[in-house]
Homo-oligomer: A and B are copies of this chain.
Amino acid sequence: MESTAPAPADQVTDEDVRAWLAATAERIPVRVKEVALDALDGWGADPATGAISPRDGGFFTVEAMEKHATVHGSISHTNYPIIVQPDMGTLGILMKDLGGVPHVLMQAKVEPGNAAGAQLGPTVQATWSNRDREVPYLAYFTDPGDRRIIADVRQSEQGSWFFRKRNRNVIVEVEEDVEVLDGYRWLPLRQVYALLAEGDTVNTSACSVLSCLPFSVLGAAGAATGDAGGDAGAGFRSALLRSCEPGAPARHGTTEILSWLSRARTYGDMNVERIHLKDAGMWHVSEGRLTHRQFQFFEIVGADIDLGGDRWTQPMIRTAADGLVVFLVRNIGGVLHVLVNSVFEGGYVDVAELGPSLQCVPSFYDELPPDAYPRFLKELKEADPAQIHFETKVTDQADIFQAASSRYVIMETDLELEGSGDGYGDFRWVTVGQLAELNRHSHYLNQQSRNLLCCLQSMCVSD
């Protein structure tokens, strides 16, 4: 147990945090051993449906969905395994003003899918499966009392792997002293953002919650004044800060953006049904793994996990290769705009969400000619380094993905690029403020966009 009085902001260096994460990883060593999915201790497949679930209920079930879609001019009909789980999860961050500096209570989180050891997680990262355990600090979020709620919104998980799964993302401000338990630390928000840039250090749950922070509490207000210089970087930063303001001049009004998404959802013609896993024809369990008969998109494997002596078994998702997630940004009249795509994934609650400009697995296209690339992959590969304003890596949910990580990029362009119809998407320029406004509500920004929004916010407060 550490002292209840948090250390002043200037006493915790980035190096301290890295050392703390390393010490935690050393104290709680992770060992994940692959075992056959069909021989997973405590789990079994339903003979009638094929669904793989824990014998004592809870946690999650591996089932399947069938998706038939005619969107963006192309028809797809496919089925694949998905994770089904009650959407009772809480991802919460406690926030506190210490000496005029916004701080967040972060935990050093060790998870089976974290290749690099411990990462910074939110104060609470509680899913239904662990609600029977005592989760520290959970009561601040389930029963906030009179405390100020800074954000509270149920956000989606990745719609390609999770069926209509949402977690409550919530930020609560405390004014009173809070006991800081072992494994937790108050960190300046600015420091968390700085560590985000290091890659695979701030976990995706933390990014998702932080993306819900209103611009007004970022502590970035003073930063705009340091921006009088005329160089290109300063112009970019000025345009970014202007873009965060709620009333910034936008290419499209918010009602117009809402209408665009409403039309996509209504006429997008996507039909999704949960089906029996055994009816997902192209998938089968082979050599102890649930795998596609033809392509190696991803596999579901059995894992025997030892987390510092805490042992259990579960299925985990093993992706074929790391992902790439990109926001193209453009200065339109002094206001930075972000290019969003309407993304249709079978697991979304409401058909389509606002996704990044580009979201793909680049290695799938290694052997293919550029005209087979998803849109903007070619532009990214040919980008001048000066166009890349931010870059990091974020690990996918490490409680179920096995060492999956994506490269997140903010890339400037001067191309127009709006529109649709080539089978890859339908794109619109929006301001950061519009993204933040929509992000107060469920079913707008997908997980990848929220992580990128968190990156943009971090650029607002960086030195």
Given contacts A88-B267, A90-B266, A350-B349, contact A255 B442 (CB under 8 A): no
Give per-residue flags for A337-360: 1 if the beta carbon is below 8 A from chain B beta carbons, else 0.
Answer: 000000000000110000000000
| Residues in B whose Cβ lies below 8 Å from that of A350 | 154, 349, 442-443
Question: Is there a chain B Cβ closer than 8 Å to A259's Cβ?
Answer: yes
The answer for the CA separation of A149 and B256 in the assembled complex, in Å, is 6
Residue of B nearest to A261 (CB): B152
- The reply to whether B266 and A153 contact each other, CB–CB distance below 8 Å, is no
Q: How many copies does the complex hold?
A: 2
Give per-residue flags for A419-442: 1 if the beta carbon is below 8 A from chain B beta carbons, else 0.
Answer: 000000000000000000000111
- The reply to whether B154 and A265 contact each other, CB–CB distance below 8 Å, is yes
Contact of A170 among B89, B170, B259 (CB under 8 A): B259
| Residues in B whose Cβ lies below 8 Å from that of A144 | 259
- The reply to whether A153 and B262 contact each other, CB–CB distance below 8 Å, is yes
The answer for the CA separation of A259 and B443 in the assembled complex, in Å, is 16
Chain A: residues with Cβ within 8 Å of the partner, total of 31
Question: Is there a chain B Cβ closer than 8 Å to A168's Cβ?
Answer: yes
Residue of B nearest to A131 (CB): B267
- The reply to whether A258 and B88 contact each other, CB–CB distance below 8 Å, is no
Question: Is there a chain B Cβ closer than 8 Å to A87's Cβ?
Answer: yes
The answer for the CA separation of A87 and B350 in the assembled complex, in Å, is 11
Closest chain B CB from A438 CB (angstroms): 9
| Residues in B whose Cβ lies below 8 Å from that of A170 | 259, 262
- The reply to whether B150 and A255 contact each other, CB–CB distance below 8 Å, is yes
Contact of A168 among B90, B150, B154, B262 (CB under 8 A): B262
Closest chain B CB from A456 CB (angstroms): 21
Question: Is there a chain B Cβ closer than 8 Å to A86's Cβ?
Answer: yes
Question: Is there a chain B Cβ closer than 8 Å to A13's Cβ?
Answer: no
The answer for the CA separation of A86 and B273 in the assembled complex, in Å, is 12
| Residues in B whose Cβ lies below 8 Å from that of A349 | 349-350
- The reply to whether B259 and A440 contact each other, CB–CB distance below 8 Å, is no
Closest chain B CB from A262 CB (angstroms): 5
Question: Is there a chain B Cβ closer than 8 Å to A93's Cβ?
Answer: no
Given contacts A151-B255, A152-B255, A350-B349, contact A87 B266 (CB under 8 A): yes
Question: Is there a chain B Cβ closer than 8 Å to A286's Cβ?
Answer: no
Contact of A263 among B142, B256, B267, B271 (CB under 8 A): B142
Residue of B nearest to A262 (CB): B152
- The reply to whether A88 and B266 contact each other, CB–CB distance below 8 Å, is yes
Closest chain B CB from A32 CB (angstroms): 30
- Point out residues on A near B: beta carbons under 8 Å: 86-90, 142, 144, 149-154, 168, 170, 255-256, 258-259, 262-263, 265-267, 271, 349-350, 440-443
Interface pairs (20), CB distance under 8 Å? A87-B266, A88-B266, A142-B263, A149-B259, A150-B255, A152-B262, A154-B262, A154-B266, A168-B262, A168-B263, A168-B266, A170-B259, A170-B262, A255-B440, A258-B441, A349-B349, A350-B442, A350-B443, A442-B443, A443-B443
